[in-house]
Chains A and B, each alone.
Chain A
């Protein structure tokens, strides 16, 4: 069988700095996008969402940017904290309620 697993890209940031996590999606028909955070041993947790008729949405310490021209999504976390350390997934919805997840990015926060 396969011996090589998914190589998750890792973003290492200093505590207090801002983090930017990027995601490229594949389906130009996708009309809804979500960022999820997954901590070790837990299920993915909703962070923020954005519809395709918007290009920016802000939450508490987080901002999602959507560039439909290049099919790119980003998650910005302000003043990154140790509790932000996790794997972050973007997900896209193109039809019905079916969400397709990206491979994820690991965020490591240095104290």
Chain B
């Protein structure tokens, strides 16, 4: 299995531009998570989906952030308009519901820089 695949690996964009981050979870996993990691706040959960349905988006910073999961093999996290304070590494992770074991597997992350 290729693991969780994120694209792009690096993104540099100007303030005000729209940014779209992409994620392909591990096949067969039915939970998907978007995390943001910064030096200031560590690893923060933004939103997670179960069976393609958003379950908890309480970590989404504000209306500029939106996430979708149109099918079991693809999710996007969009920031519009982007701001310099959005600069961070964004991780996608997936897990499979199994009794007793629900570890999440992480992708390599997308390093976003907003200038």
Contact = CB atoms under 8 A, between A and B. Distances in A.
Contact of A43 (B40, B95, B103, B108): B108
Which range contains the number of A residues in contact with the other chain? 20 to 34
A103 B42 contact: yes
Nearest to B111: A41
Nearest to B58: A98
A93 B45 CA distance: 12
DSSP class of B's interface residues: helix, strand, loop or mixed?
strand
B43 A97 contact: no
Contact of B40 (A2, A32, A98, A101): A2
A5 B40 contact: yes
Contacts of A43: 4, 91, 93, 106-109
Contacts of A42: 108-109
Contacts of A89: 43
B108 A44 contact: no
Nearest to A103: B42
Nearest to B31: A97
B70 interface: no
B42 A97 contact: no
Interface string A44-59: 1110010100000000
Top 5 A-B pairs ranked by shortest CB distance? A43-B106, A5-B39, A101-B43, A97-B31, A46-B103
Interface of A: 1-2, 5-6, 32, 34, 36, 42-46, 49, 51, 89, 93, 96-104
